[in-house]
């Protein structure tokens, strides 16, 4: 199997392939020839120069690498081409098994307007709003749903092309800018409008389908975000009403079942804290960065489940067999300078020490001497802790963060410890605006001469 990715997810996929006795071939750029993943794989093949567009985003190079090394399948990981329908279709045309959903399913859920339509058909609530072609359309829609509103990219994600407008004047100023950003990021300038939820939680449900049957594997809370990028994730989501948790699970299964979903996927929701209701956000048709917290509370290997379904076999577990035990929390360790507006901090790692012990898991591609190149995402590791209770998991995670040593680069290690120690996060159930408020308050204290 060709692993068409890099970093910690490549190492993580290779680990399952080795356990299952499947030969692994890692596709690497010239910058990753000496990476941990390249050494862990049975073989490594260079697919191009360092820049992602010339390597990890080069469909032709990846297909050639798969065929040239005799690979029967490709695992795309997350990011890069994992949710590109044309990559899945190219694999299919060339007789290479794509470890993921069908190209058609990727296309349908990747189009945000189509995903909203599917949600409506599956009786899954969506935020009030809809497509807008012109500023006049947007102003009219905003009058209907009420300010503030969000402008979102039809083909987008990760906050790119997303703008908030609190007044008609702001909507006029942001509308063209949002379309231009969407066009630059996704090659599609179409946008749509949704009502803005002032205090919302990002809660997602892990689903698994085989084309005939869909089950859920529980939920996660991913509300600790900076500029729509997740930093801390946990499973299960804390402080959800049991009835709402059940409704979220059922809605996610209905959505996936409606399209005959095949593979692992995540249905994401925005939970309106003040109105105690939830809305469909999107579906990610791939394995998620935060999948380890689900693995720790369920005891399942989600990569192995992906492979089973891709081979054409039925899901091997029933819904009633999915048991959840304890609580798990994950911190994304990024190579960035949190004191300089989170600027990336590439470089060569000197010392690399990660804590080990009961309830701890580290997913990383970093070791002493590893190079963190400037061309890719800044995440270098995921620290994950599991405990019988949320409190125990948080204690173990904080201890692991205290023991972590990565020299030669700057990381957000200290920030994570401060987040875990904050009163609001300790209680649990923070909304997506939590980290922005906390950072602003910290900046204010520092400016006044009272460091956090």
pLDDT digits (tens, 9 = 90+) for 10-37: 999 999 999 999 999 999 999 999 999 9
pLDDT at 451: 61
Burial class of residue 244 (count of CB atoms within 10 Å of its CB; 0-12, 13-18, 19+): middle
Q: How confident is the model at residue 159 (pLDDT cuts 50, 70, 90)?
A: confident
pLDDT digits (tens, 9 = 90+) for 244-255: 999 999 999 999
pLDDT digits (tens, 9 = 90+) for 162-174: 899 999 999 999 9
The region of weakest confidence among 181-185, 191-195, 260-264 is 181-185
Q: How confident is the model at residue 431 (pLDDT cuts 50, 70, 90)?
A: very high
23 token code pair: 């030969």
Q: Which residues contact 293 (CB under 8 A, 6 or more apart)?
A: 220, 233, 234, 235, 328, 329, 330, 384
Q: Strands across the sheet with 73-75, in order?
A: 43-48, 25-29, 2-3, 73-75, 97-98
Q: Which domains does the chain have, with CATH numbers?
A: 2-99 (3.40.50.20), 128-195 (3.30.1490.20), 200-447 (3.30.470.20)
Q: Is pLDDT of 80 > 60?
A: yes
201 annotated active-site: no
CB 278 within 8 A of CB 247: yes
Percent residues over pLDDT 70 in the chain: 99
Q: Is pLDDT of 338 > 80?
A: yes
230 token code pair: 């997740």
Tokens 């200290």 found at? 414
Which region, left, alpha or beta, applies to residue 279 given φ > 0 means left and ψ of -120 to 50 means alpha? beta
Residues of 93-107 as b/e, b for ≥16 C-beta within 10 angstroms? eeebbbbbbbbebbb
pLDDT at 444: 83
Q: Is pLDDT of 441 > 60?
A: yes
CB 258 within 8 A of CB 194: no
pLDDT digits (tens, 9 = 90+) for 105-144: 999 999 989 999 999 999 999 999 999 999 999 999 999 9
Closest to 303 in 3D by CA, of 51, 56, 7, 22: 22
Q: Give the Cβ contact number of residue 239 at 10 Å.
A: 12
Q: How confident is the model at residue 452 (pLDDT cuts 50, 70, 90)?
A: low
Q: Of the listed 40, 220, 262, 286, which one is catalytic?
A: 286
pLDDT digits (tens, 9 = 90+) for 220-244: 999 999 988 999 999 999 999 999 9
How many residues are present in the chain?
A: 452
Instruction: Encode the chain in three state secondary structure.
Output: CEECCCHHHHHHHHHHHHHHCCCCEEEEEHHHCCCHHHHHCCEEEEEECCCHHHCCCCHHHHHHHHHHCCCCEEECCCCCCCCCHHHHHHHHHCCCEECCCCHHHHHHHHCHHHHHHHHHHCCCCCCCEEEECCHHHHHHHHHHHCCCEEEEECCCCCCCCCEEECCHHHHHHHHHHHHHHHHHHHCCCCEEEEECCCCEEEEEEEEEEECCCEEEEEEEEEEEEECCEEEEEEECCCCCCHHHHHHHHHHHHHHHHHCCCEEEEEEEEEEECCCCEEEEEEEECCCCCCHHHHHHHHCCCHHHHHHHHHCCCCCCCCHHHCCCCCEEEEEEEECEECCCCCEECCEECCCEECCCCCCEEEEECCCCCCEECCCCCCEEEEEEEEECCHHHHHHHHHHHHHHCEECCCCCCHHHHHHHHHCHHHHHCCCCCCHHHHHHHHHHHHHHCCCCC
Tokens 């596709």 found at? 27
pLDDT digits (tens, 9 = 90+) for 348-381: 999 999 999 999 999 999 999 999 999 999 999 9
Q: Is pLDDT of 446 > 90?
A: no
Q: How confident is the model at residue 305 (pLDDT cuts 50, 70, 90)?
A: very high
Average pLDDT along the chain: 96
């Amino acid at each position: 199997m060709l692993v068409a990715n890099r970093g910690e997810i490549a190492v993580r996929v290779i680990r399952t392939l080795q356990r299952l006795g499947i030969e692994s071939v890692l596709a690497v750029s010239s910058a990753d020839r000496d990476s941990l993943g390249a050494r862990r794989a049975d073989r490594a093949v260079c697919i191009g120069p360092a820049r992602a567009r010339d390597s990890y985003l080069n469909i032709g190079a990846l297909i050639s690498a798969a065929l040239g090394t005799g690979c029967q399948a490709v695992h795309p990981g997350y990011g890069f081409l994992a949710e590109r329908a044309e990559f899945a279709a190219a694999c299919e045309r060339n007789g290479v098994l794509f470890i993921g959903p069908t190209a058609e399913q990727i296309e349908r859920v990747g189009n945000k307007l189509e995903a909203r339509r599917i949600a409506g058909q599956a009786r899954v609530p969506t935020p009030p709003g809809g497509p807008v072609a012109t500023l006049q359309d947007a102003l009219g829609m905003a009058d209907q749903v009420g300010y503030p509103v969000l402008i979102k990219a039809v083909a987008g994600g990760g906050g790119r092309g997303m703008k908030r407008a609190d007044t008609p004047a702001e909507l006029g100023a942001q509308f063209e800018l949002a379309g231009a950003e969407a066009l630059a990021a996704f090659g599609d300038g179409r946008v749509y409008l949704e009502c803005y939820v002032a205090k919302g939680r990002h809660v997602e449900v892990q689903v698994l389908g085989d084309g005939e049957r869909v089950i859920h594997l529980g939920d996660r809370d991913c509300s600790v975000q900076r500029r729509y990028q997740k930093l801390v994730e946990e499973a299960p989501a804390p402080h959800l009403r049991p009835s709402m948790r059940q409704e979220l699970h059922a809605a996610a299964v209905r959505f996936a079942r409606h399209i005959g979903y095949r593979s692992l996927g995540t249905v994401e929701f925005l939970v309106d804290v003040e109105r105690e209701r939830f809305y469909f956000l999107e579906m990610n048709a791939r394995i998620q960065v935060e999948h380890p917290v689900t693995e720790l509370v369920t005891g399942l290997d989600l990569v192995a489940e992906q492979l089973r379904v891709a081979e054409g076999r039925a899901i091997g577990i029933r819904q009633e067999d999915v048991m959840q035990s304890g609580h798990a929390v994950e911190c994304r360790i990024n190579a960035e300078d949190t004191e300089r507006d989170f600027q990336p901090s590439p470089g060569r790692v000197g010392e690399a020490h990660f804590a080990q012990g009961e309830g701890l898991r580290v997913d990383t591609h970093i070791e002493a001497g590893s190079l963190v190149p400037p061309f890719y995402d800044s995440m270098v590791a995921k620290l994950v802790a599991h405990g019988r209770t949320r409190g125990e998991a948080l204690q173990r995670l904080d201890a692991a963060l205290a023991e972590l040593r990565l020299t030669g680069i700057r990381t957000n290690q200290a920030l994570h410890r401060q987040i875990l120690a904050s009163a609001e996060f300790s209680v649990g159930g923070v909304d997506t605006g939590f980290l922005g408020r906390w950072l602003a308050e910290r900046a204010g204290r520092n400016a006044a001469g009272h460091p956090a």
